[in-house]
Amino acid sequence: MLVRQVRGGIEESVHRGDVVQVDVDGVLIRGLGDPDRVANLRSCVKPFGVVTLIEAGGIEAFDLEPAELAIMASSHSGEDLHVRTIQGMYRRANLSQALIATGAEGMPLDALTAARLARDGEKASPVRHMCSGQHSVFLLLSRLMDWDPTGYWLDDHPAQVAYRAVIARAFGTTPGRLRTAIDGCGVATYAFPLREIARAYALLADPSAVSARDARSSLAPGLTLVRDAMLANPEMVGGTRDRLDTSLMKAAAGRVVSKGGMEALRGLALLPGAAASPATASGIALKVEDGDGYERGTWAATVEVLSQAGVLDPQALRVLARYHRPVDLDPHGRVGAEAIAEFELAPLRELL
């Protein structure tokens, strides 16, 4: 059990889950629950997929800026700054944003932007979808390689084939061995045990940490650019309001890359020196069992995990207090209930 929802001293519900922290070689450091639990990556795959476009020469071909790399690794809130950033890429690439095939149901994520659009009688377009940045990787790659962008979301499209090959490299496997499913935005998602997801995020934290003999080392130049772009542009990764990934990366600036995925999965890349032990880079994968529709369980558990890992200092914890202990307010602003993270990560490295 990771988080309890408590109202008036009564436990109303609980959020159970699994957490694992590993180094770049996959050696267990801390954890709770089952490190071999299999989860679909969902949006946690996005930072790795951007490397597909980088390796193909996309930065040079389209004059891409770090903020644009960050938004292609994002699940953005659909705010105007996100739309302008994506539209800038499409203008330079001479691409129509009408090609984006994410749909737009339930978008944008940002409540204030959604309210403004509704007030003005404007219907959200797919560019405001949280996955439009990821889909831009496929479309820009198609433009660069002169592939027909129609049906870019289909499994056998060359853009999907290229993307899949990079994901396989990042996880130390081959495309043919990947376990896939259909993501909510229509493209493929990939399933791995939590310990392997954490290992991939350790690689994101320090891409140069693997030896030259490791096939993953070839990803280092591209992953370093993606990591640095996300660190420098946290508002592009999530948004300006109520997005944990953004708030974490601002509160622990330069120490952690955070990327959430649907159904309450989160990958955390802890840069070298982010924590006293270990001082080297590591990765954390956290999965809340029930999918956490209210986000309170994932929020509370994520901040608590980083606190126990030694990443968050007292100032950062104060800044993140509303995520660490999310509250449910009544119509008069009174606290009716709160989510409380109560668990202790086991020092798995010491137990081996």
Query: Within 10 Å of residue 23's Cβ, how many Cβ atoms?
Result: 21
Q: Which residues of the chain have pLDDT under 50?
A: none
Q: With residue 40 as reference, give the H or E element that holds it.
A: strand 38-40
For 11, phi then psi, to 5°, come to -75, 110
Residue 136's nearest CA partner among 237, 50, 258, 219 is: 50
Q: What is the pLDDT of residue 152?
A: 98
**Residue 188 is part of which domain span?**
3-351
**Two structure tokens written together for 332:** 């008069």
SS (H, E, C) 83-107: HHHHHHHHHHHCCCHHHCCCCCCCC
Alpha-carbon distance of 72 to 259, in angstroms, equals 12
Residue type, position 324, single letter = H
311 within 8 A of 284, measured Cβ to Cβ: no
- Quick one: how far is CA 101 from the chain centroid? 20
- Quick one: how far is CA 84 from the chain centroid? 21
C-alpha to C-alpha distances, 58 to 148, 216, 289, nearest whole angstrom: 17, 20, 38
- Whether omega before 347 lies within 30 degrees of 0, making that bond cis, reads no
Alpha-carbon distance of 13 to 169, in angstroms, equals 40
Query: Within 10 Å of residue 106's Cβ, how many Cβ atoms?
Result: 11
34 within 8 A of 194, measured Cβ to Cβ: yes
* Structural domain count of the chain: 1
Q: What is the pLDDT of residue 147?
A: 98
Alpha-carbon distance of 176 to 164, in angstroms, equals 9
190 within 8 A of 7, measured Cβ to Cβ: no
**Two structure tokens written together for 207:** 């891409």
107 within 8 A of 124, measured Cβ to Cβ: yes
Alpha-carbon distance of 111 to 154, in angstroms, equals 31
Residue 45's nearest CA partner among 166, 140, 132 is: 166
Q: What is the pLDDT of residue 351?
A: 56
**Two structure tokens written together for 219:** 């990803």
Alpha-carbon distance of 82 to 344, in angstroms, equals 38
SS (H, E, C) 50-88: HHHHHHCCHHHHHCCCHHHHHHHCCCCCCCHHHHHHHHH
Q: What is the pLDDT of residue 80?
A: 98
C-alpha to C-alpha distances, 24 to 196, 210, 221, 270, 303, nearest whole angstrom: 10, 7, 16, 11, 22
Q: What is the pLDDT of residue 170?
A: 98
pTM, full prediction: 0.97
